[in-house]
Chain A
Amino acid sequence: MTADQVLAECRELVAQPIGAAAERWKAQHPDGRAVASYPVWAPVEIIHAAGMLPLAFLGGGTSVELTHADARFQSFVCSIAKSSLELGFQGLCKGVDGFVFSNICDVARNLSSIYQRNFGDVLVEYLHLPQNSTSPAVAAYMAAELKRLAARFEDAWGLRVTPTALAKSIETFNTLRTGIRALYALRIAEPQKLSTVELYTALRALTMAPPEDGIAWVNALLEDIPRRSARQRDGLRVVIEGAFCEQPPLGLLEVLEEAGCYVVEDDLMLGWRWFTSDVATDGDPFARLGAAYVDQAVPSSTRHEGREHRSTGLLEKVRRARADAVIFMPAKFCEPALFDYVLMKQGLEKAGVPHLLVEFEEKMWTFERTRNEIETFVESMLFD
């Protein structure tokens, strides 16, 4: 497959509701179940090892009008919480058998139980992701929590996660993540050959298909994209930070690139890229995932990291991607991102890295003001 063919397939997939992706897969796997994870991270390996389809539950974006959810969540609550609930009310998740939420923020926590109350026919599980990064007790606790999740699937549907199956799933997702890291490295090296909209679309499609299909797509992209011919233009190399949960509209990413930015690193679709290196391949697989959560997790506003300052991970991204600036792109009302913005901003200023704040909402449709801001920022940097 050529890169264009893969990307066309991915575009078609992401245009569909999550329920359709689940139904299509289940048509071929009649005894199978589909389980979706609310951002940011959930152990897809566990879901896969139980023989289920792991999906990402990323809200409704521009695809759904709020008719019920607005009455449940107030005006000051982020869009993704509302649109995710609305997808349920409108039956657009039909086919998804279970949902995994976690403690990424206070809204996600409440959404989890409200989802269960309103849609009692699906399984809703809440995963506690530890916020203590330094206690020797954390890795073992995380492993116990993952075993609890596996036991829940077995109790609900009789689908058991054996250590052998989990070990195999870890290897499968290691392969997928290695491919994604290679795609990101490719974009860092030659951003003109792979736009962020393309990369994002491919990544989002990976979260709606079995990982085996995803690996094939990623390999095809890795083979074909370097052959693309594209002239590098004057542009600002930027890192996007803060868009880890609610996803920005594609139009905003397009505007960012049209306004003169090469996005060379971002935190979009972070859940599928959570581990910065391969999860170990020997020993108890639950313990390996638990240890990886503690020591190999990507720096994120949803997880406390006590071993380094909040800005350190971001500065490392800037350095690794050879970026000129950072675009903070938090979703409107996103407390984790908005709080971290302050400490990150201070860290960047100390290090002399320019930055710009651009808030968004998933249903945002007019970008002219944002385009102006970004263009001005880019010009001020390029012609300084």
Chain B
Amino acid sequence: MATAVTERQYQGQVHEHSRRLMSAWMDELGRAEAEGVPTGALMISGNCVELLRACHILPMFPEVTALQAAIRKKSLPLILKAEQAGYSSDNCAYVKADIGLFLDGGMGPGKPIPFPTITVCNYVGCNVYVKWFEHLADLSGSKLFMLDVPFCRTAQPSAADIQYVVAQLKELIALCESVSGKKFDIDELREILAYAARAEEGYARSKELCKRHPAPFDAYFDAINMMGPINVLRGMREGAEFFDAAVAEFESLVAQGHGPLSEERFRTVVEGPPPYPFYRNFRNLFAKWGAVAVQSTYSTVGGIWEWGFRHDPRRPLESIAEQMMTENLTNRSIVARYAQIKRYVEEWEADALIIHSIKSCRLFSAGQGDMRDYFTRELGVPTLMVESDLEDPRYYAEAQIKNRIDAFFESLEHKKVVAGR
């Protein structure tokens, strides 16, 4: 029997730094109404947070609200409230949790935050976003701007695609000017984009460090601590500095040969969002096997920075448009995601692919059986698929999931033993 794997409490600094920054942002949102600061709701996927910041509109993210409700184990009553109002059990539970809050007349899972002044639906990939923001605008009475972003259906976006998104970004700027009463300054946007590019560089560098054995952090579970700063605080000096500090810490861990667990026995790539209501439990199911995620697709919903894309202050609106169209996970096809995962498995030297299929998000999940077929049959990558939900605790059956995870790693371990003979 191998020695038990234990978790090192290595992530303290990055985690604490992220928590502090995100709390400050939430506090700022909480004060926004009283201080007369306009707020703008955005979605995480391929967002244009830099533009809102340049327009002096404080960004808010209903998805962050939903996940915080889930991680604090407060999502179910909210979901039930939405279902009482007519939402189906088959609708995305992220939306329902937020709707539950909206029906109470507010937002913010811990501290109350006001309804957004404007609702900007950056329609990147997920169709549910359209509905979510239609409903949010309806409930809050805020002005809805539907920023239509063409799905990445050709190798490169066409000139018409870029022109179309840029034209809408200009319309959004005009709307923001009317909301904030402040003139848009393109040079200010350039400065913000430079900070964004620095944070993107830091996030990409952190992910790159996970190619080391052992990886210095878990690129699925710990990446969550970096997803706040990279998606919400992108374009701020504080966001850029956060990643400078994170890279320094991870480099130091690499130098010491430290990973998140006492022993890295299996390297995995994880596909799909985590089950937030049972985040810690789910993590423990992998940790006990010494399984560390060296890459994940969920950590790229806001942007795929590891392939080298950076916002370009010299082409501000064009680079925002390109990022929204092509440089994020959700606006690319599921088959493009297969290519992304394949590259992760090969370059990050992973032993297996873990697919966490969630009921709420069809964009992520619909067709993951085909994904599994591709990786298992065509590439010979050991693949495990487990199902639950990212928000609704009713769909998480731990005993069943544990059985599947244990059986999978037992089999992987057996293969390793046989291969080592």
Whether A381 sits at the interface, judged by CB under 8 Å, is no
Taking a contact as CB atoms under 8 Å apart, the answer to whether B134 and A117 are in contact is no
Taking a contact as CB atoms under 8 Å apart, the answer to whether B90 and A338 are in contact is yes
Q: How far apart are the CA atoms of A346 and B99 in the complex, in Å?
A: 15
Taking a contact as CB atoms under 8 Å apart, the answer to whether B135 and A342 are in contact is yes
Q: How far apart are the CA atoms of A133 and B145 in the complex, in Å?
A: 10
- On whether A335 and B362 interact (CB within 8 A), knowing A74-B387, A116-B335, the answer reads yes
Taking a contact as CB atoms under 8 Å apart, the answer to whether B147 and A335 are in contact is no
Taking a contact as CB atoms under 8 Å apart, the answer to whether A106 and B126 are in contact is yes
Q: How far apart are the CA atoms of A110 and B127 in the complex, in Å?
A: 12
Interface core residue of B144, B338, B365 (most chain A CB under 10 Å): B365
Residues of B within 8 A of A341 (CB): 86, 88
Residues of B within 8 A of A335 (CB): 90-92, 127-128, 131, 362
Whether A132 sits at the interface, judged by CB under 8 Å, is yes
- On whether A338 and B164 interact (CB within 8 A), knowing A72-B369, A116-B335, the answer reads no
Q: How far apart are the CA atoms of A222 and B9 in the complex, in Å?
A: 77
Min CB distance A40 to B, Å, is: 13
List A133-172 residues whose CB lies under 8 Å from chain B. Answer: 133-138, 141, 144-145, 148
Taking a contact as CB atoms under 8 Å apart, the answer to whether A135 and B335 are in contact is no
Taking a contact as CB atoms under 8 Å apart, the answer to whether A106 and B144 are in contact is no
List B379-400 residues whose CB lies under 8 Å from chain A. Answer: 387
Whether B87 sits at the interface, judged by CB under 8 Å, is yes
Kindly report which residue of chain B lies nearest to residue A152, judged by CB atoms.
B154
Encoded as 1 (CB less than 8 Å from any B CB) or 0, chain A from 120 to 141 comes to 0000001010111111111001
Q: How far apart are the CA atoms of A77 and B144 in the complex, in Å?
A: 29
Whether A71 sits at the interface, judged by CB under 8 Å, is yes
B362 touches which one: A72, A110, A128 (CB < 8 A)?
A110
- On whether A107 and B148 interact (CB within 8 A), knowing A338-B90, A343-B135, the answer reads no
The interface on chain A, measured as residues whose beta carbon lies within 8 A of the other chain's beta carbons, has a size of 54
Whether B106 sits at the interface, judged by CB under 8 Å, is no
Whether B245 sits at the interface, judged by CB under 8 Å, is no
Q: How far apart are the CA atoms of A47 and B88 in the complex, in Å?
A: 37
Interface core residue of A132, A145, A310, A345 (most chain B CB under 10 Å): A132
A103 touches which one: B86, B92, B151, B338 (CB < 8 A)?
B151
Min CB distance A75 to B, Å, is: 8
Residues of A within 8 A of B146 (CB): 131-134, 304, 306
Residues of B within 8 A of A76 (CB): 90, 359, 362, 365
Taking a contact as CB atoms under 8 Å apart, the answer to whether A109 and B148 are in contact is no
Taking a contact as CB atoms under 8 Å apart, the answer to whether A343 and B134 are in contact is yes
Min CB distance B85 to A, Å, is: 7
Interface core residue of A110, A141, A310, A346 (most chain B CB under 10 Å): A110
Whether B297 sits at the interface, judged by CB under 8 Å, is no
Taking a contact as CB atoms under 8 Å apart, the answer to whether A73 and B366 are in contact is yes
Whether B138 sits at the interface, judged by CB under 8 Å, is yes
Whether A181 sits at the interface, judged by CB under 8 Å, is no
Interface core residue of A112, A145, A339 (most chain B CB under 10 Å): A339
Q: How far apart are the CA atoms of A21 and B192 in the complex, in Å?
A: 57
Encoded as 1 (CB less than 8 Å from any A CB) or 0, chain B from 346 to 385 comes to 0000000000010101110111111001100000000000
B151 touches which one: A126, A339, A346 (CB < 8 A)?
A126
Q: Interface of chain A, helix or strand or loop or mixed? A: helix
A304 touches which one: B130, B334, B336, B387 (CB < 8 A)?
B130
Residues of A within 8 A of B367 (CB): 72-73, 77, 107, 110-111, 114
Min CB distance A42 to B, Å, is: 14
Q: How far apart are the CA atoms of A335 and B86 in the complex, in Å?
A: 13
Q: How far apart are the CA atoms of A138 and B370 in the complex, in Å?
A: 34
Min CB distance A137 to B, Å, is: 4
Min CB distance A78 to B, Å, is: 9
Min CB distance B45 to A, Å, is: 12
Residues of B within 8 A of A135 (CB): 148, 167-168, 171
Whether B123 sits at the interface, judged by CB under 8 Å, is yes
Residues of B within 8 A of A111 (CB): 366-367
Q: How far apart are the CA atoms of A2 and B34 in the complex, in Å?
A: 72
Residues of A within 8 A of B280 (CB): none
Whether B23 sits at the interface, judged by CB under 8 Å, is no
Q: How far apart are the CA atoms of A341 and B82 in the complex, in Å?
A: 13
Encoded as 1 (CB less than 8 Å from any B CB) or 0, chain A from 78 to 121 comes to 00010000000000000000000001111101111110111000
Q: How far apart are the CA atoms of A141 and B147 in the complex, in Å?
A: 13
Kindly report which residue of chain A lies nearest to residue B144, judged by CB atoms.
A306
A106 touches which one: B90, B357, B363, B368 (CB < 8 A)?
B363
Residues of B within 8 A of A148 (CB): 158, 160
List B145-174 residues whose CB lies under 8 Å from chain A. Answer: 146-148, 150-151, 153, 158, 160, 163-164, 167-168, 171
- On whether A106 and B87 interact (CB within 8 A), knowing A126-B153, A141-B160, A335-B127, the answer reads no
Min CB distance B178 to A, Å, is: 15
- On whether A338 and B123 interact (CB within 8 A), knowing A106-B363, A106-B366, A138-B148, the answer reads no
Whether B333 sits at the interface, judged by CB under 8 Å, is yes
Taking a contact as CB atoms under 8 Å apart, the answer to whether B86 and A345 are in contact is yes
Whether A340 sits at the interface, judged by CB under 8 Å, is yes
Q: How far apart are the CA atoms of A10 and B362 in the complex, in Å?
A: 35
Interface core residue of B126, B158, B366 (most chain A CB under 10 Å): B366
Taking a contact as CB atoms under 8 Å apart, the answer to whether A338 and B333 are in contact is no
Q: How far apart are the CA atoms of A339 and B362 in the complex, in Å?
A: 14
Residues of B within 8 A of A105 (CB): 127, 362
Q: How far apart are the CA atoms of A309 and B151 in the complex, in Å?
A: 25
- On whether A107 and B134 interact (CB within 8 A), knowing A72-B373, A338-B90, A339-B128, the answer reads no
Kindly report which residue of chain B lies nearest to residue A133, judged by CB atoms.
B146
Taking a contact as CB atoms under 8 Å apart, the answer to whether B357 and A137 are in contact is no
Taking a contact as CB atoms under 8 Å apart, the answer to whether B362 and A106 are in contact is yes
Whether A200 sits at the interface, judged by CB under 8 Å, is no
Whether A25 sits at the interface, judged by CB under 8 Å, is no
Taking a contact as CB atoms under 8 Å apart, the answer to whether A113 and B366 are in contact is no
Q: How far apart are the CA atoms of A131 and B126 in the complex, in Å?
A: 12
Residues of A within 8 A of B127 (CB): 103-106, 109, 335-336
Taking a contact as CB atoms under 8 Å apart, the answer to whether A71 and B335 are in contact is no
Taking a contact as CB atoms under 8 Å apart, the answer to whether A110 and B167 are in contact is no
Interface core residue of B148, B368, B387 (most chain A CB under 10 Å): B148
Kindly report which residue of chain A lies nearest to residue B159, judged by CB atoms.
A144
Taking a contact as CB atoms under 8 Å apart, the answer to whether B374 and A117 are in contact is yes
Residues of A within 8 A of B138 (CB): 309-310, 343
Q: How far apart are the CA atoms of A74 and B357 in the complex, in Å?
A: 9
Q: Could you list some 17 contacts between A and B, CB below 8 A?
A: A72-B373, A73-B366, A74-B365, A74-B368, A76-B90, A76-B359, A105-B127, A106-B361, A109-B125, A114-B370, A118-B370, A132-B148, A133-B146, A137-B171, A304-B130, A335-B131, A342-B85
Since A113-B335, A310-B134, A333-B90 are in contact, a sample of 5 more A-B pairs with Cβ atoms closer than 8 Å, ordered by chain A residue number, is: A117-B370, A128-B151, A304-B123, A335-B128, A341-B88
Seen from chain A, the residues whose Cβ lies within 8 Å of a Cβ on chain B are 70-74, 76-77, 81, 103-107, 109-114, 116-118, 126, 128, 130-138, 141, 144-145, 148, 304, 306, 309-310, 332-336, 338-343, 345-346
| 7 tightest A-B CB contacts, nearest first | A132-B148, A339-B131, A144-B160, A137-B167, A113-B333, A106-B363, A106-B362
